[in-house]
Amino acid sequence: MKTDFEAWLDAYPPDEKHLAAKVDKQELTHKAAACRQVLDLHGLTREQARLAVDQALKAALQDQVASLLIIHGKGLHSSTGPVLATWLRDYLEGHSLAGKIQSVPAKQGGTGALEVSVRKKN
């Protein structure tokens, strides 16, 4: 048995123009996702985080990924407050593969994440 929506689609099928637009949008979404990788550092020590950041930046460079979203957390579950937030920004500013470093919108992690562009090696 068809749902109301499926019956409506049968009665009013989309034209080729709308189908092409939908495919293009999906392709663009896929390409955009390939331009950014995500690294989650929750629960790691600074040393573990350093190793993970180094590895992720090298992999992003090799995979020709434009940017890396690094989730470091807000420190809400830590008795001493944020462990990685300040350290991470300082570390990235001195990293040879890190380019522009910026905060992200609240829906992407806000103060608990940073986006860093991947700098190509000279």
Return the DSSP state at 105.
-
Each residue's pLDDT tens digit, 65-111: 899 999 888 877 666 767 798 899 999 999 999 999 998 888 777 88
H/E stretch holding 7 reads helix 4-11
Statement: the pTM of the whole predicted model exceeds 0.85: no
- Show Cβ contacts of residue 116 under 8 Å, excluding neighbours closer than 6 positions: 57, 67, 68, 70, 92, 98, 99, 100, 101, 102
pLDDT of the residue at 30? 47
- Distance of alpha carbon 27 from alpha carbon 17, whole angstroms: 16
Q: Is the pLDDT score of 23 beyond 50?
A: no
Contact 68, 116 (CB under 8 A): yes
